[in-house]
Amino acid sequence: MKLEPKSSDLGLEETNAGEVDSDAARGVEAIERVSPELPLSTHVAARRSSDASMETDLTALLDALLSSPDRQETGHDDLSPSSASRTERERKDSIIASADKGLRTPPRPKHVRRRIDGSPILPLCKMPSKTIYLLRHGFSRGQAAQNSGLDRKNDKSLRDCGLTEQGIQEARAIPNQFSVEEMSKIQIVFSSPFTRALHTALLGFPSKKIVCHFDLGEIGSKAPENTPRKMTAVMSDILGAIEERDDSCNIDVTTYQPPNWPRDSVPGVIKKEKVRKFFHWLYQARSETTIAVVCHHNVIKTALIGGEKMRPKNAEVIRCTLNSNGELLETPKTADTNR
C-alpha cells in the first residue's frame, strides 16, 4: 500500500526553491533521528533528491518509512485502509514520543552505604590502611560508685573521676596484650581528655608520646564522671604517673584544646559526628601508620563499623584497620599477631 499525501493534507504551503531545499534537509534529519532502522542508502537517496519539490521528497521518505522491515513483519497490508492508517499514525506518534523522551535510559542513582544511624560511609580509595589499637580506659570510680554507696548519676564528687586501684592495675597490664614487635611499631597514642582515660594512657604506654584530643570524650551520658575539668586539675591528679615517665616521652594536652574548655555544651549527635571525623582526620592529617587510641565505651561503639552491638571491656585492646575513607573496622581475631 502506498500513500501519496497531498501538500494540502500535509499542511504545506507553496514556497521558493531555497526554502524547499532547507526544509527537505531538515525533514530528512528528523526522520533519521526518529527512525534509525531505515538503511543508510535510503537516507542518502533522500538527501540527493533535495532538488525536487518538497511534496515529492516527503512522499518518498514516508514510503520508505512505511516499507521498513518492522512494518512488513506486522502484516499491515492485510488491514483495511482505515485500520492501516490509524496503526501508522500510532506508530509514528510512538516513534516521535520516544525521540522526545530520549533513547538512552537515565542512569541509576548511586547506592550510598550508610551506618545504622543513617550517617553515610564515604567511598573507599585504593590507598594503604593504617593500624589502630583501640582501648577503653581502666575500671573507674564511676563504675564502682554503686559498690561504694554513691549515686553515680548525681554525686558531684564523681566529676571527671579517675581510676580505682583495679583500674590502675588493668592499665599497667596493657603492654602484656602486645607482642614486642607490635609495641615497637606504635608511633603515637591519642587519649580522651578525661582523667580516667589519660591516666590509662600514661600507665599503659609509658614509653610513647601521648596527645590529648578533645573529640574523644565520652558521649551520651551527663553523669558527673563525664563532666570535664580544666587540664591543670587533671594533670595534678595524675602527677605520679607523669613523673614515672621518661622526660623524652612528651605529653601534649594543649594543641587540640578548644578555647572554651572545659565548658561543654555540644549535643550528643554532634559529638558522634566529631568522633567519626576524628578517625577520618587521623588518616588524612597524621603521618603515623600505627596508632593507639584510649577513649570510652560509647566512643568505641560509635567509631567502629558494626560497633553498636559491642560491649567494650576495660583496658582491653581492640585491633582495628583504618581505611582511607575514615572507616574503622575491627580486625578479625584469626588475623591477630601471635603474642
Identify the residue with better confidence: 221 or 165. Answer: 165
Identify the residue with better confidence: 332 or 321. Answer: 321
Residues in a beta bridge with 322 = 130, 328
Q: Which amino acid is at 320?
A: C
Q: For position 2, what pLDDT does the model report?
A: 46
Average the pLDDT over 74-95 and give the result. Answer: 63
Q: For position 253, what pLDDT does the model report?
A: 97
Identify the residue with better confidence: 264 or 313. Answer: 313
- 229 pLDDT more than 90: yes
| Rounded Cα gap, residues 17 and 53, in angstroms | 8
User: DSSP characters for 27-58?
Assistant: HHHHHHHH-TTS-HHHHHHHHHGGGS-HHHHH
Q: For position 110, what pLDDT does the model report?
A: 60
210 phi-psi bin (left φ>0, alpha ψ -120 to 50, beta other): beta
Helix axes of 17-34 and 81-101: crossing angle, nearest 10 degrees: 80
Cβ-contact 292, 135 below 8 angstroms: yes
| Rounded Cα gap, residues 48 and 219, in angstroms | 78
| Rounded Cα gap, residues 314 and 11, in angstroms | 87
- Residue 132 neighbours by CB under 8 Å, 6+ apart: 279, 282, 291, 292, 293, 319, 320, 321, 322, 328
Mean pLDDT comparison of 21-25, 108-112, 218-222, 286-290, highest-scoring range: 286-290
Q: Write the pLDDT tens digit of every residue in 241-289.
A: 999 988 888 999 999 999 999 987 788 889 999 999 999 999 999 999 9
- 82 pLDDT more than 80: no
For cell 580486625, name the residue: 331
- 314 by DSSP, 3-state: which? strand
Min mean pLDDT across 13-22, 195-204, 221-230, 295-304 is at 13-22
CA-nearest of 323, 322, 317 to 336 is 317
Q: For position 8, what pLDDT does the model report?
A: 46
Report the chain's terminal Cα–Cα distance, integer Å: 89
Q: For position 13, what pLDDT does the model report?
A: 45
- 220 by DSSP, 3-state: which? coil
For cell 485502509, name the residue: 81
Q: How many CB atoms lie within 10 A of CB 78?
A: 8
Identify the residue with better confidence: 37 or 213. Answer: 213
Q: What is the dihedral of CA 146, 150, 155, 160, to 10 degrees?
A: -60
| Rounded Cα gap, residues 35 and 164, in angstroms | 83
Computed over every residue of the chain, the mean pLDDT equals 80
Average the pLDDT over 163-187 and give the result. Answer: 97
- Beta strands across the sheet bearing 251-252: 251-252, 210-212, 188-191, 290-295, 130-136, 317-322, 328-330
Cβ-contact 198, 191 below 8 angstroms: yes
Q: For position 265, what pLDDT does the model report?
A: 75
Q: How many CB atoms lie within 10 A of CB 21?
A: 15
| Rounded Cα gap, residues 203 and 263, in angstroms | 27
Average the pLDDT over 221-230 and give the result. Answer: 92
Residues in a beta bridge with 252 = 211
Cβ-contact 292, 210 below 8 angstroms: no
| Rounded Cα gap, residues 21 and 23, in angstroms | 6
Q: For position 238, what pLDDT does the model report?
A: 97
Reported confidence tier of residue 17, pLDDT bands at 50, 70, 90 = very low
Q: Write the pLDDT tens digit of every residue in 25-65.
A: 565 555 555 455 555 455 545 455 554 555 555 566 556 65
- 224 pLDDT more than 80: yes
Q: Write the pLDDT tens digit of every residue in 139-173.
A: 999 999 999 999 999 999 999 999 999 999 999 99
Q: For position 56, what pLDDT does the model report?
A: 59
| Rounded Cα gap, residues 135 and 291, in angstroms | 11
- 326 pLDDT more than 60: yes
| Rounded Cα gap, residues 325 and 327, in angstroms | 5
| Rounded Cα gap, residues 152 and 171, in angstroms | 22
Cβ-contact 132, 189 below 8 angstroms: no
